[in-house]
Structure 1
């Protein structure tokens, strides 16, 4: 998949298992799981009283938040165990994040969140096993949690299954991230508050239409013949978010979420079925440099833009270096992260960069201008229109950044729509390949 990706982000990292973020919107959806939550709340309140952890009785509103937080934590931990996710769940302990009013903050978050975590992790409770990060000056503290012994025992007693836990259709779907502070090593970018406009409301309406459409889609996954280990996922997880970058709604804008994005390439290409048919992945090729040609009001040369004389065997490395040149604001003085191994030992970054500039003279003055996020926005606009057009044609499509998966019978129609849409937005001809 040829994506527009910042140099600081690894492109081919989907093989790596990571701790995943806490989903604060899960809830107990059956009598089995509701009974576990009710018992936990009762035991936690008794534990508070026994150890005299709480001097005064909570206000009704605060108790409601307490109950909601316990429900969300237990439900997400139960879901985590049921899909057999191999890593943990990370949660924040930052009072700055938990206490502020924000369009992004789930109802289950409050300044009491770390206290509730610690209470549920007490040996007497054993609902949570947690690893609390050591405090580091300037860094946000995070905690990794896993189901505790008592929770696992209760799940077995109640014979809890995946359908016993569900997710509220809440949460902001239009996300704005601010620019990272280059002078602050610990700055991770963070979320930016914003006031809604006609533009943001239109973007949100588009995502709502897409999410409602995908929620009703007939999707199936067959793991037969797929090598182990299998990626843990929930086929009901289909909700997408659109994430904009650099504090503006003309930067980034890619779609994230959906279980199919969690799957490894070979898993989704071998095991995924849409509307009863084998799913096929259609992928835009060399999307970053092609969009850059359009931004420069130039036409790209014929053929593969990453295939350069003298570097045919280093195409993957050329792709990453060229992406870095599109995102960078200054000349590259070293190979991007985890890129050097894609070149020969004798290759030097200066020589590689010079050859790319020589091979692409028409966009040479568009490198090192930080245009990557702007190009990514054009890519995201293309993908939104492709999805909505396919929706109108009653063709289910699952987006993966600059690619879509469609039923096998819809490949020709989807490919034509993708090429037409790319031409109109990027003002240059695109390429679409059938992957796998």
Structure 2
């Protein structure tokens, strides 16, 4: 679709120009940086108003395409080692906020105490992404799970005790579904709620962009990873507080943060 010349589009573009202008003055090691762009989705939908998707992407994939275990930890901003400040269960938290329901659990809704959190997290991601409850594990989910499992072993990391790399065996679908719906019952309302992954991504992107702009005023360099910000370790607490504040401003609820 062609990009209209409207005040709203001009404001969205100016935000990206502002962020890129600051970032191009910084020094990066362990990565290439050719700028960021904002990609919107569902432009042909009747209710599209530059409010679907909207994530910031690195031009040419760049640092976002680096291996998160072997490559991204080597990134340096202005000579400083970096960490990732992650919004935990971002889309699940946003969905609960849009539905006016409190997020279950105490910091980690995927930790049910009944089964490994990876199975619950995967079930939630598939449900929110598809906009309805799945009826089984897809072959793609099984392949992705096996790939991640094999990567752990190749890196010398110990997978979760008792796991085999076979999704259906490690996390039997019916068991995971029953536990997930018992602990996170709002998942039953995803279909027909009127809220989709594109809405979750938009609000999430608004949070990250507001946080990045606020941190620029403090001279703090950050780069987006969809639901997290890479930042110098020395500023991780500042970035955490800023993300929580911006999330509450835009979404209306507090979020939980993990520094990794």
What is the aligned counterpart of 1:352 among 172, 176, 187? 176
1:203 to 2, 9, 12: 12
Superposition misfits of 4+ residues, deviation over 6 angstroms: none
Q: Is the 8 A contact 2:119 2:176 kept in 1?
A: no
Which protein is bigger by CA-based radius of gyration?
A: 1
Q: Aligned partners of 2:254 and 2:63: how far apart in 1?
A: 28
Partner of 2:109: 305
- 236, 245, 260: which is aligned to 1:420? 245
1:407 aligned onto 2:232: yes
Q: 1:356 to 1:303 in 2, by over 3 A?
A: same
In the TM superposition, what whole-angstrom CA distance separates every residue of 1:327-348 from its partner, at most 9, and x where no partner exists? 2244422214533456342855
TM-aligned CA distance change 1:413 to 1:273, over 3 Å = same
Length, aligned pairs only = 229
Q: How does 1:100-115 map to 2 (within 5 A)?
A: none
SS across alignment from 1:278: strand
Q: CA–CA distance in 2 between the matches of 1:285 and 1:216?
A: 30
Q: How does 1:63-74 map to 2 (within 5 A)?
A: none
Distance 1:428 1:367 in 2: 22
Structure 2: any 5+ residue segments left out of the alignment? 146-165
TM-score (normalizing by structure 2): 0.79
Q: Assess, with a 3 A threshold, how the Cα gap between structure 1 residues 239 and 393 changes in structure 2: closer, same or farther.
A: same
The answer for the alignment partner of 1:317 in structure 2 is: 119
In the alignment, the residues of structure 1 paired with residue 171 and residue 118 of structure 2 have an alpha-carbon distance, to the nearest angstrom, of: 14
Distance of aligned partners of 1:343 and 1:262 in 2 relative to their CA distance in 1, 3 Å threshold: closer
Given candidates 255, 267, 273, the residue that maps to 2:56 is 255
Say yes or no: does 1:240 pair with 2:36. Answer: yes
Alignment of 1:41-190 (within 5 A): none
Partner residue, 2:202: 377
Unaligned runs of 5+ in 1: 1-191, 222-232
Whether the 8 Å CA contact 1:293–1:363 is kept in 2: the answer is: no
Tell me if 1:264 matches 2:67. yes
Distance 1:373 1:352 in 2: 25
Residues 348, 220 of structure 1: alpha-carbon distance in 2 compared, 3 angstrom cutoff: closer
> What is the distance in 1 between the residues matched to 2:130 and 2:124?
10
Say if 1:292 and 1:363, in contact at 8 Å, map to a contact too. Answer: no
Q: Distance in 1 between matches of 2:248 and 2:225?
A: 20
Match for residue 327 of structure 1?
129
Tell me, yes or no, if the aligned pair for 1:296 and 1:366 is still in contact at 8 Å: no
Q: State the Cα distance separating 1:269 from its structure 2 match.
A: 4.2
2:99 is aligned with 1:296: yes
Relative to the length of structure 1, the TM-score reads 0.49
- 1:154-206 C-alpha deviation (Å, 9 max, x unpaired): xxxxxxxxxxxxxxxxxxxxxxxxxxxxxxxxxxxxxx334232221111000
Q: Would the alpha carbon gap of residues 337 and 344 (structure 1) be closer, same or farther in structure 2, given more than 3 Å must change? A: closer
Distance in 1, matches of 2:100 and 2:21, equals: 37
2:24 is aligned with 1:220: no
Aligned to 2:152: none
Task: Note if contact 1:324-1:336 (Cα within 8 Å) is conserved in structure 2.
Answer: no
RMSD in angstroms over aligned alpha carbons? 2.2
